């Protein structure tokens, strides 16, 4: 299994958790990191990785969830981000 820092929320490792959340019909809050999984190109720039890195990570995560079929499989799953 990969370290959690190398996974996005659509990873199969998280599916048992999301299946249970879907079954319980409860919303969850997801807070993304300030660094995308592939962060080497911005790591040395603290403000860039905080501002730009978080945007990249949120867009990547949301896009992957939208296109991976997870929402079709888990129709009661409600994810929120602060």
Task: Write the pLDDT tens digit of every residue in 26-40.
Answer: 999 887 665 555 666
Give the mean pLDDT of 41-70. 79
Furthest CA-CA distance within the chain: 42
- Return the pLDDT at 52: 75
This prediction's pTM: 0.71
Split at pLDDT 50, 70, 90, the class of 15 is: very high
Give the mean pLDDT of 17-28. 95
**Residue carrying the six token digits 């962060």:** 39
Residues written for the chain:
82
DSSP alpha helix (H) spans, the chain: 15-24, 46-67, 70-73
Is pLDDT above 70 for 60?
yes
């Amino acid at each position: 299994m990969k370290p959690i820092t190398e996974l996005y929320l659509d990873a199969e490792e998280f599916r048992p958790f999301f299946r249970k959340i879907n079954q319980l019909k409860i919303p969850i809050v997801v807070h993304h990191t300030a660094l995308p999984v592939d962060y080497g190109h911005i790591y040395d720039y603290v403000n860039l990785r905080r501002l730009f890195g978080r945007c990249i990570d949120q867009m990547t995560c949301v896009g992957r969830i939208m296109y991976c079929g997870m929402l079709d499989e888990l129709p009661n799953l409600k994810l929120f981000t602060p």
